[in-house]
Amino acid sequence: MRTQVCIIGSGPSGLILGQLLSNAGIDNVILDRVDRDYILGRIRAGVLEVGAVELLDRVGAGVRMHKEGLIHDGFELSFSGRRHRIRLKELTGTSVMVYGQTELTRDLMDHRDATGGKTIYDAANVTPHDFDSAKPYVTYEKDGVTHRIDCDFIAGCDGYHGVCRASVQDKGIQNYEKVYPFGWLGILADVPPVHHELIYANHARGFALCSQRSLTRSRYYVQVPLTDKVEEWSDDAFWDEIRRRLPADVAEAMQTGPSIEKSIAPLRSFVAEPLRFGSLFLVGDAGHIVPPTGAKGLNLAASDVHYLFEGLQEFYADKKTAGVDAYSQRALSRIWKAERFSWSMTMLMHRFPAEGEFGQKVQEAELDYLSSSTAAQTSMAENYVGLPY
């Protein structure tokens, strides 16, 4: 088989890139090692920046998002028994869209199927070859047969544990990483959200987050030690713990119910440099990871795709390589600003016992300053809604 761009990974990065390419008449194939249902079974991001919303609209997969998504003009910080609202819309003129990654991915998959896009699921042992030559290709196994796809470019949209970044470890890659000493225990339940906007809580017992997927489905998180196992947490234990970490009126109002998903995710900050190796590009989680505190993971994948598509479109239209040559530097400039923001929000809102009482007092002072400074709130707001592409 031959295609122009071979995309490895059918998550948000691969699907958005694939649709942009198809809409521009650039032939592409997506390979994924699992099937559609497995991908849709993973519960992940919940907040979309305006840039991601505009990309979904641009590829023609945004209809349900506008019907079912929730526009949020702010979010709350809870700390020291107080609540402070960060007024996103008033401070930046921009809102965010609350619409789950699962639904966004479903919309993209349905649209790709409806527009004739080719995706090969359950592709085993996907391997990029000769990406430092003019004739790269990808092999994979399916139904006991090894297949080969010759292409011009390979888009590594295969996430943090994918094969693409692993394939360039001896090509001068530089990995930057910070692992946090805790995880997020998340629960999804068909109960109405406790508040109409998100609440991020800094509490002596640890961080908590009240998020949502719709007016009838809520997503909650609590910070837990890395040694915790999800099977050790009953639903009741989760509900009791998150209510301990919230202001009394919020805890009182919280509706609880059986979890439909419960999992623990580790937190790390990670960036690989560069993001391009010949005709192989690292996109989205394949190239970087942020702690979810700033809701940047999925949104960074969107801006990576925006930059890479601009380069590929220019290459196929004008045979120019300036855009693909600039991809890594353009993407990394925005990635590092989001990494900084996600790190800073994580350091501000979580309990770090190793930092002792002094660290706790510094957090409280920063939150107190934030609640009294429009300049500080504006800085947090413009990073949260997303810096320009």
Q: Which residues bind ligand PHB (CB under 6 A)?
A: 45-47, 198, 211, 219, 292-295
Closer to ligand FAS at the Cβ: 45 or 208? Answer: 45
Task: List the catalytic residue out of 140, 200, 220, 327.
Answer: 200
293 binds, among ligand PHB, ligand FAS, none (CB under 5 to 8 A by kind): ligand PHB
Half-sphere exposure at residue 340, Cβ-oriented, CA atoms within 13 angstroms? 11
Q: Does 33 bind ligand FAS (CB under 6 A)?
A: yes
Note if 384 is an active site residue: yes
Note if 389 is an active site residue: no
Sign of the alpha-carbon torsion through 149, 153, 156, 162 = positive
Structure tokens at 127: 């391997």
Element (H, E) at 110: helix 101-114
Q: For residues 138 and 126, is the Cβ–Cβ distance under 8 A? A: yes
Strands 153-156 and 5-8: parallel
Note if 121 is an active site residue: no
Considering only residues 286 to 345 of the shown chain, the ones binding ligand FAS according to CB under 6 A are: 292, 295-298, 301
CA gap 106, 11 in Å, rounded: 10
Note if 316 is an active site residue: no
Task: Count residues near ligand FAS (CB under 6 A).
Answer: 33
> Least distance in Å: CB of 133 to ligand FAS?
21
CA gap 5, 289 in Å, rounded: 24
∠ at Cα 137 (132, 140), nearest 5°? 130
3-state DSSP call for residue 383? helix
CA gap 304, 311 in Å, rounded: 11
Structure tokens at 144: 């006991």
Q: Does 206 bind ligand FAS (CB under 6 A)?
A: no
9 binds, among ligand PHB, ligand FAS, none (CB under 5 to 8 A by kind): ligand FAS
Note if 292 is an active site residue: yes
> Least distance in Å: CB of 32 to ligand PHB?
22
291 binds, among ligand PHB, ligand FAS, none (CB under 5 to 8 A by kind): none
Structure tokens at 5: 């761009």
Which residues carry out catalysis? Answer: 72, 200, 292, 296, 384
Binding site for ligand FAS (CB under 6 A): 8-14, 31-34, 39, 44-46, 101, 123, 126, 157-159, 161-163, 265, 284-285, 292, 295-298, 301
